Amino acid sequence: MTGTFSGAGRPLSVLSLLPRENLTDEEIVARVLAGDRPLFELILRRHNERIYRAVRSILRDETEVEDVMQQAYLDAFSHLGEFEGRARFSTWLTRIAMHEALARKRRQKPEHAEDDAMANLPGPERNPEENAQDGEMQKVLVSAIDALPEHFRTVFVLRSVQGLSVEETAEALDLKEDTVKTRLFRARALLQRSILERTEPALAHALPFPATRCDRVVEQVMRRIGVKTSA
């Protein structure tokens, strides 16, 4: 791809006049490639929560998660010219982040066996009402997600937490769509129906990525590509 790419077919001269917030991801890519590097900050802020959740589904150490997020953004920035628009930009970016997270995971010690992970699931002796009374419902949900075997957890987070479609999840993870559907079914079963029924409305708020962390990641990435943030 060259610097004349215009995303939605609009010439770069027109894109330069549009408000930043109205630009599509593809149009932002076009402007960044044309030399408007500071605009890359908008990509970071627009996708930070999505990328955090994707990486967090593989790595559970928060420091490592942020490291991987930064590296994924830097890789994406370095290879923007290779984005051809065949998939959504968000999917392309998620794939980069997932591959980076998996590479980091392979350098760690192997994850516990599935039986060990299952042992960490909330037991039947504590029901959802008791957990809610302790004000720990969100922590219980995140803990249950973390306890899933990785191949189930990544699918569950992308589909149920992040809200990606089956097609987008399959593309992000290099899986067949039927495999995505099967793993999602198994993940839901492992989470226990009683917990899932009571916590599903809160899934959109699970694994939050607060503004302070968003600002930190944005500042560090933009600094590493040599551009000051707008804040």
- Residue 214 is encoded by which pair of tokens? 């968003």
Q: Give the pLDDT score at 10.
A: 55
Domain ranges of the chain: 12-108+210-224, 114-205
pLDDT for residue 109: 63
User: What sign results for the dihedral spanned by CA atoms 3, 4, 8, 13?
Assistant: positive
pLDDT tens digit sequence for 102-131: 999 888 765 443 444 444 444 444 434 344
Distance CA 129, CA 77 (A): 46
Whether pLDDT at 179 is above 90: yes
End-to-end CA distance of the chain: 30
The pLDDT, as a whole number, for residue 147 is: 82
Which pTM does this prediction carry?
Answer: 0.68
Q: What is the pLDDT of residue 228?
A: 80
Q: Which CATH architecture does the domain made up of 12-108+210-224 adopt?
A: Orthogonal Bundle (1.10)
**Model confidence over 63-111: pLDDT tens digits?**
999 999 999 999 999 999 999 888 889 999 999 999 999 999 888 765 4
Would you state the CATH architecture of domain 114-205?
Orthogonal Bundle (1.10)
pLDDT bracket for residue 136 (50, 70, 90): low
